[in-house]
């Protein structure tokens, strides 16, 4: 067990409180209470405008501290704000303060915390770096578990353009980031980032919007690229044996400000000969699927409201998404498929026959995928991650 080298809990608690106070002050002074964000969000409808929340927040109030965990951290409020303030950051700072000060035990989010721990464990991780490798593919946890075949197909495809492509099966630890477990997140992510940089890795190819967000923000010394941006530059043969009805596209809320990724996804859908119709809320104003921020563990009704709103906009169309989490959560709304399913097996996907695994089989799939990658080729350097940060 390696001890966390970061500052003491007392220092972290003080730093988090300063950051929180600054965010509360910004909301109190700059929110004009126009109500635009409130109309879009059941969470804000319940608790009020960002200004009201900021003005009434009390650290000694247990309800006020736990309230932040009911927010999906989807940033729709930020996207629609006419004065460009960021309420999401305030709720994230509230979570960080709650975690640093010991005011929450994450019992309700236990499944999410354990999911992340498995993803970073020696058993599930694998780093395979061929000789001369400076680029790796990072598929993420959910995609590797639910669609291991697509991960391997994607890797084989990208290998044609990146002959020395490496593979990293690991977790970006975004769950801890969003739960406010800052010290744990920083220690775990930094160990991975430093290992990659110190071994000559310069570029990360990510298939998960959440991984893209984390590496883009915290991956110092690394260039983060979406695999969809790369795939969209190719020519894809339109598939003729598919139904003519249009699909619709779910933009991940994590990627709401990533215009290039959104454009690439739509280009790929059309390249396969499939037409699409955007929902009312898409792109910058997309809706959360309900998974965001782990809010469904604390406030399932509020999180479920996003799915209900999505259902009203889908109009019976098949949903195509580029987030494995969205694909899982929106399956209750209607027929949903991942973009990689559409790219590599469009006929089966549009017929609703693409193979998708559910938990607990996803864990077996990740272990099998690791086994296949370990034996796929010779690596100049490989490891299973044994680093573990004290919480």
At which of 76, 100, 124 does a domain end? 100
If you write DSSP's letter for every residue of 222-271 in order, what string do you get? -EEEEHHHHHTTS--PPPSSS--S-BEEE--GGGTT-HHHHHHHHHHHHH
What are the pLDDT digits (tens) for 328-366? 999 989 999 999 999 999 999 999 999 999 999 999 999
Contact indicator for 25, 44 with CB cutoff of 8 Å: no
Is the residue at 241 inside a domain?
no
206: closest CA among 263, 163, 158? 158
* pLDDT(4) > 50: no
Q: Which residues pair with 250 in a beta bridge?
A: 321
Is the residue at 242 inside a domain?
no
Is the residue at 284 inside a domain?
yes
Q: Which residues pair with 126 in a beta bridge?
A: 169
Helix (H, G, I), strand (E, B) or coil at 111: helix
Is the residue at 391 inside a domain?
no
> Does residue 338 share a domain with residue 262?
yes
> Does residue 167 share a domain with residue 207?
yes
> Does residue 258 share a domain with residue 217?
no
What are the pLDDT digits (tens) for 296-321? 999 999 999 999 999 999 999 999 99
Q: For 43-50, which contacts have Cβ atoms below 8 Å and span 24 or more sequence positions?
A: 43/70, 43/71, 43/72, 43/295, 43/299, 43/302, 44/77, 44/87, 46/70, 46/302, 50/77, 50/85, 50/87, 50/90
> Does residue 252 share a domain with residue 219?
no
Q: Which residues contact 233 (CB under 8 A, 6 or more apart)?
A: none
Distance separating alpha carbons of residues 342 and 298, to the nearest angstrom: 33
> Does residue 222 share a domain with residue 127?
yes
The rounded mean pLDDT for the chain is: 93
What are the pLDDT digits (tens) for 182-214? 999 999 999 999 999 999 999 999 999 999 999
Give the strand pairing for 135-138 and 203-206. Answer: parallel
> Does residue 219 share a domain with residue 126?
yes
At which of 100, 121, 144 does a domain end? 100
Q: Which residues contact 270 (CB under 8 A, 6 or more apart)?
A: 276
> Does residue 219 share a domain with residue 131?
yes
Distance separating alpha carbons of residues 292 and 35, to the nearest angstrom: 22
User: Token pair of 102, please?
Assistant: 């010991």
Is the residue at 108 inside a domain?
no
Q: Which residue has the tokens 């999410």?
A: 112
Is the residue at 3 inside a domain?
no
> Does residue 313 share a domain with residue 363?
no
Is the residue at 2 inside a domain?
no
At which of 70, 100, 130 does a domain end? 100
228: closest CA among 319, 334, 314, 338? 338
Structural domain span for residue 87: 9-100
pLDDT class for 5, splitting at 50, 70, 90? Answer: very low
Q: What CATH number corresponds to the domain at position 139?
A: 3.40.50
- Phi, psi dihedral angles at 84 (to 5 degrees): 65, 35
> Does residue 265 share a domain with residue 371?
no
Is the residue at 370 inside a domain?
yes
Considering its fold, how many domains does the chain have in total? 3
Contact indicator for 139, 171 with CB cutoff of 8 Å: no
Distance separating alpha carbons of residues 336 and 331, to the nearest angstrom: 5
Q: Residue 239, exposed/middle/buried by CB under 10 A (0-12, 13-18, 19+)?
A: middle
Contact indicator for 256, 75 with CB cutoff of 8 Å: yes
> Does residue 378 share a domain with residue 306?
no
Q: What is the pLDDT of residue 274?
A: 95
What are the pLDDT digits (tens) for 101-155? 888 999 999 999 999 999 999 999 999 999 999 999 999 999 999 999 999 999 9
Kindly compute the dihedral angle of the four CA atoms of residues 117, 133, 225, 128, in this order, to the nearest 10 degrees.
-20
* pLDDT(388) > 90: no
> Does residue 96 share a domain with residue 17?
yes
> Does residue 268 share a domain with residue 214?
no
Q: What is the pLDDT of residue 383?
A: 97
């Amino acid at each position: 067990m390696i001890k966390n080298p970061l500052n003491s809990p007392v220092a972290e608690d003080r730093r988090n409180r300063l950051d929180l106070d600054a965010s509360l002050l910004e909301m109190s002074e700059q929110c004009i209470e126009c109500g635009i964000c409130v109309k879009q969000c059941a969470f804000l409808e319940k608790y009020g405008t960002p200004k009201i929340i900021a003005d009434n927040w009390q650290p000694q109030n247990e309800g006020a501290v736990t309230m932040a965990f009911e927010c999906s951290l989807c940033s729709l409020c930020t996207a629609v704000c006419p004065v460009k303030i960021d309420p999401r950051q305030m709720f994230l700072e509230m979570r960080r303060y709650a975690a640093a000060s010991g005011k929450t035990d994450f019992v309700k989010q236990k499944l999410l915390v354990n999911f992340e721990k498995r993803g970073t464990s020696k058993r599930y991780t694998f780093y395979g770096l061929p000789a001369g490798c400076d680029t790796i593919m990072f598929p993420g946890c959910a995609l590797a578990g639910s669609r291991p075949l697509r991960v391997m197909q994607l890797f084989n495809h990208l290998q044609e353009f990146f002959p020395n492509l490496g593979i990293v099966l690991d977790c970006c630890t975004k769950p801890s980031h969003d739960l406010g477990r800052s010290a744990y997140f920083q220690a775990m992510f930094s160990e991975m980032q430093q290992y990659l940089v110190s071994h000559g890795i310069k570029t990360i190819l990510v298939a998960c919007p959440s991984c893209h967000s984390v590496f883009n923000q915290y991956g110092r010394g690394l260039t983060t690229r979406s695999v969809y941006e790369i795939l969209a530059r190719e020519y894809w043969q339109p598939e003729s044996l598919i139904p003519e009805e249009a699909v619709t596209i779910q933009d991940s809320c994590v990627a709401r400000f990533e215009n290039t990724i959104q454009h690439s996804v739509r280009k790929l859908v059309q390249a396969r000969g499939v037409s699409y119709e955007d929902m009312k809320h898409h792109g910058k104003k997309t809706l959360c699927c309900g998974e965001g921020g782990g809010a469904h563990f604390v406030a399932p009704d509020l999180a479920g409201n996003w799915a209900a709103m999505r259902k009203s906009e889908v109009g019976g169309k098949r949903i195509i998404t580029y987030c494995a989490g969205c694909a899982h959560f929106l399956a209750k709304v209607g027929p949903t498929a991942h973009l990689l399913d559409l790219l590599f097996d469009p006929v089966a996907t549009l017929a609703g026959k693409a193979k998708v695994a559910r938990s607990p089989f996803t864990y077996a799939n990740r272990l099998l995928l690791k086994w296949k990658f370990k034996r796929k080729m010779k690596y100049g350097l490989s490891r299973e991650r044994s680093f573990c940060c004290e919480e």
